[in-house]
Chains A and B, each alone.
Chain A
Amino acid sequence: MSKEGLVRELQTKAKKLRRESLFVMKEMGSGWLGGSFSSADFITALFFYRMKHDPKNPQWSARDRLIISKGHACEVFYAALAEAGYVPKEELKTYSHLRSRLQTHVDCRTPGIDCSGGSLGLGLSFAVGAAIGAYILPSEKNLSASSRREQARFRVYCILGDGECNEGQVWEAAANASHYKLDNLTAIVDSNKFQSTGSVQVKMDMISLTEKFKAFGWEAKEIDGNNMKEVVDTLDWVLTVEDKPQAIIAHTIKGKGFPSLENTNCHFVKITEELLKKGLEALRG
């Protein structure tokens, strides 16, 4: 398929996942609309283009990992899991219900999810551990000798929020990742400019996340995270980087795809019938 064709296909899928995530949110009556919609494009590109994974075998040891460190962006990810076949589509209707696998933050009880989210600032550390593990050969060689720096068995992608980068452990993980030269690790910061109760700049201005990651020894790039072509190109670029982890600072729009909510702090939104209707109209296939 041509790149243009691929981009068009992923755009259509991202729109579909946004639409379906609205129904997921409706199950709780509220949802993490802003962060789900801002991250929908690169979640789609990762899951349906870049990552090596097998929904029929969620525990495949060489699968690429996707760690949703901003664990509240779960509804669009649940829609993606159902689309890929990790969970039945019917199960999306159990979101937030008692005993459901689909908890209100990503949960590792759900097939396709490796690390539970909700407690911010932890996911990148988990991703670093997994990425180190991808470089250790689980073979008999290990019983007596070194085998480091052979091919990594898999890649690890980690999605963080820009507000989440306030958390100190993100930077412990960032330092450790470059120390271990984890070129199989990509962090994607969903820079939608809002955190739970307001603008990231007003709450705690982190100044430049790009410069910070660079200072921590990463390759870092800023992109328009809602531009599918740029997302795809950047996810191709990460494979070319050697000896350094890669940070993609994805400038996104909170609530992207829901015009009346875009660029507002639509972090956690009550999903009324009217809002659902409005959203579905805006996201018509």
Chain B
Amino acid sequence: MRYAVPLIVFAILSVVLVVGIGKDPTRIPSPLLDQPVPQFSLRTLAQPEREVTDQDLRGEPALLNVWGSWCVNCSREHDFLTQVAQQMPVYGLNWNDEPDAARRWLARLGNPYRFSAHDVDGRVAIDLGVYGAPETFLLDGNGTIVFKHVGELNPDVWSRDFEPRIAQLRQ
């Protein structure tokens, strides 16, 4: 019997892991779902003298994408995000970044954002419950958070999680 102990321990460990992984951690319901975007007032990257607020995200369904030039997965999703930007407004929240590095990054990879608000002290990211970049929030026309995706945005995630919700919003 004692020879089976390692097997049993490993089996228990595996069950715990499988149960954990079965729950896709990127789909943790955010407490902010169905809540309005927290109030903010920030300067944009492109025009540091221009001030934008949460009000500027309203009007039609839009995406709010949290990014940083240091973030590897942000550059991975960038091409796809650029395609998406042709269908609907995409706003950026530049988080935890040097403005110069961020501007260089946009100049190099292209800029899909209507504007990128520069989150100087990371306050807005905290209010939004961001725990890593990239994160993408789907907002309805009133600036209410409809859905949140953690991690890289790609065609699979897009057609699974975003497209049905956007279709609903546009009805």
Q: Do A and B bind each other?
A: no
